[in-house]
Structure 1
């Protein structure tokens, strides 16, 4: 499995885990290739992600799919669209992996990935490139702080579930309302505080920023994971760095989306931001 040779996976089943979250469980003959790459990641990242490859209708693609060959031999309108998504979990015994999609409305909203996930059925085929990642919880920290919205929640949940007993973690998660609260099971001492935006549009509130600033800050060392809408880069991150004194090496920040911007516009914006992604270990 390489950058230009994504694996071919098949939808096994779908689950509506919350009104705004649909889980797509994938498997198939290429699962072993993916699982081998997953186990072979440089670190045991809990924010592991892959790039879903959406092929254009009406074109015949090489089999197995080779993205380099596609770009060299096919017209640009046939070039696949790639979208980055967190790997929610991997079950090697069942030979399955899951990806959770934020769904807007019955048709999945605008774009490519949401509508595909909204109508996905068992037997549908999707290609996946990766995986990769950038965050490993440091269980020696006095507190692991997680801050995010629905887009960041799959990585937050995967991280919380991976924690061993004796570790203390706090997650602040913004969702539409109580029906969007998703249970997380962990051996660690985990507290999840759900922040409900109600009728407000996602990405327009200050709920997460306000909640972080209102925390009764613990003594000791805090490692923070802040992932979601791009406004968190300008609000929560500087507060943690400048006012709370978290070391840059102890913070993982990434913008997953940007309100009012298409996916392509967000990708262009993110490519121009030197600080759109901050990984632990950065001095």
Structure 2
């Protein structure tokens, strides 16, 4: 995948924090705020896609950091909830003040360029925290086109927008399509931003392939101006996706970069 910035792999040191409180952002997403002295060991965040790998026994699950406040010793992480499915979602849904969780990281590689003429931010609900962080980091004059796919209209959130931000919400329950398909169609059929465009496209891997082709092959966006990656893939848990991601990327790049 292409990303304009690269950071060294963080040391694999497990840190433990305590749940302070939770906030229900929508029926499909909950924010867990954790705190503790371990956060003092984390340097100020440089990127807007910073993530941690949460530890659930011997298993890790990757989540984007919504915010980190060193002064308050608080870190906020947003979780998509799919009922009782998975490990992290049910844990976050049921989390109580005093619960503890350990994590590796953070890692991260991307932040928006303030001097880009237009920003294209695209993702499903799994990428929404990173999109929110990117919008927060943009200067007030920055032009941004935002496309977000969520389960339904009830899953919308208030975003940090300005008069130069256009947000397109795509509701999965209104389309007879798979994850990311309606989002892909919306991006491909919308007017493309003019000028020097920077793009951030993350979410279901099955939408990454057509949108990568669209940006690189059809719109000729310079690769160094695009951060694009699959956070997950339909029908796979994180372990299965991470073990097959390299092969998926290699095959996709071989197909799309052949000419």
TM-score for the superposition, normalised by structure 1: 0.80
Q: SS where residue 129 of structure 2 aligns?
A: helix
- Structure 2 distance, partners of 1:180, 1:242, is 33
In the alignment, is the contact (CA less than 8 A) between 2:66 and 2:130 conserved in 1?
A: yes
Q: Structure 1: 5+ residue runs without aligned partners?
A: 56-79, 279-283
- What is the aligned partner in structure 1 of residue 70 from structure 2? 92
- 1:178 CA drift (Å): 1.5
TM-score for the superposition, normalised by structure 2: 0.87
Q: SS where residue 151 of structure 1 aligns?
A: helix
Of 214-223 and 92-101, more deviation after overlay is shown by 214-223
Match of 1:129 among 104, 108, 133: 104
Figure out how many residues of one structure are paired with residues of the other and give that number: 244
Match of 2:35 among 27, 36, 39: 27
Match of 2:81 among 100, 103, 111: 103
- Does residue 143 of structure 1 match 2:118? yes
Q: SS where residue 228 of structure 1 aligns?
A: strand
Alignment of 1:226-245 (within 5 A): 226-245=201-220
- Structure 2 distance, partners of 1:276, 1:24, is 37
Q: Structure 2: 5+ residue runs without aligned partners?
A: 1-9, 254-259
- Structure 1 distance, partners of 2:179, 2:66, is 26
- What is the aligned partner in structure 1 of residue 12 from structure 2? 4
- Does residue 212 of structure 1 match 2:220? no
- CA distance 1:142–1:268, shift in 2 (3 Å): same
Q: CA RMSD in A?
A: 2.1
If each structure's helix is expressed as a fraction of its own residues, which one has the higher value? 2
Match of 1:194 among 155, 169, 182: 169
Q: SS where residue 126 of structure 2 aligns?
A: coil
Q: SS where residue 139 of structure 2 aligns?
A: coil
Larger Rg: 1
